[in-house]
Amino acid sequence: MEEFKNDMLTEKDAQYLNIKEVFYHLIECNKDIPGISEIKWIIHVVDSPDINAFVLPNGHVFVFTGLFNAVASVHQLAFILGHEIAHAVLEHAAEKASVVHLLDFLGLIFLTMIWAVCPRDSLAIVGQWLQSTLKEYLFSRPYSRTLEAEADKIGLQLAAKACVDVRSSSVFWQQLELADTLFGHPSVPEWLSTHPSHGNRVEQLDRLIPEALEIRETCNCPPLSEPDPRLVFKLAMKDFLKESEKKDLNTTAEKQKVGPLPIGKQKQTSGA
């Protein structure tokens, strides 16, 4: 709250009200789940271009306006909020803290053994760096990715119970993957990240969507009359690529029409 106090949207702001409406609809449709009904949920919307959202163990949910602007539909927003609810209900923060404490304890044993065998400061420093690096990339980050995948799965089920079009969930990550490509954002290898790659999330969600659709049907939700958002996105991508190819061909043709500058003019230009 201290960090974002100057960027908080008021409770009367339109974006705040939209997010709040979707969030509490999810809560209402899943109130039969003990963890959800026991938590006192509070929404905070931060005016920031970051595409981000997170939840604290006490039920405080922070959503950035960059995320709200990045979703293409209320269905995508509902899935992302369901993902954050899942983190809190599954107590991922406490679970992760327990694993970190365990790894720290094992690391201390490792360093103690090194010191007992060879009590040298330089070796202890190298040993500490080695165990810290191994802990981070072999245990902490993979475990964090596992928790994210679990939150995706449960979040999808929460969204299904709220009659959301869960097919939109995987499209969201395809949109982010496309945006990264278009804007030239460097892609970080998954093993370096605390989150699964966009592509892996798409694959996992596509595998889980059939089960989520079955859950949706058992909740007496209205049938999905609109076309599959995944198909719509795929067709839109084909059109986009065709248009891009046409523009590239036109640009090449224009360059060929212009042709090279006369030698005299080339020399004059290069001298300038």
Which sequence positions are flagged as catalytic? Answer: 84
Query: Measured at the alpha carbon of residue 220, what is the angle toward residues 216 and 224, in degrees to the nearest 5?
Result: 60
- Cβ 56 vs Cβ 188: under 8 Å: no
Q: How far is CA 74 from the centre of its chain?
A: 16
- In DSSP terms, 44 is beta-bridged to 62
Greatest Cα-to-Cα distance within the chain, rounded to the nearest angstrom: 82
Distance CA 237, CA 179 (A): 12
> 192: which DSSP letter?
G
Helix (H, G, I), strand (E, B) or coil at 44: strand
Nearest alpha carbon to residue 213 among 196, 228, 234, 195: 228
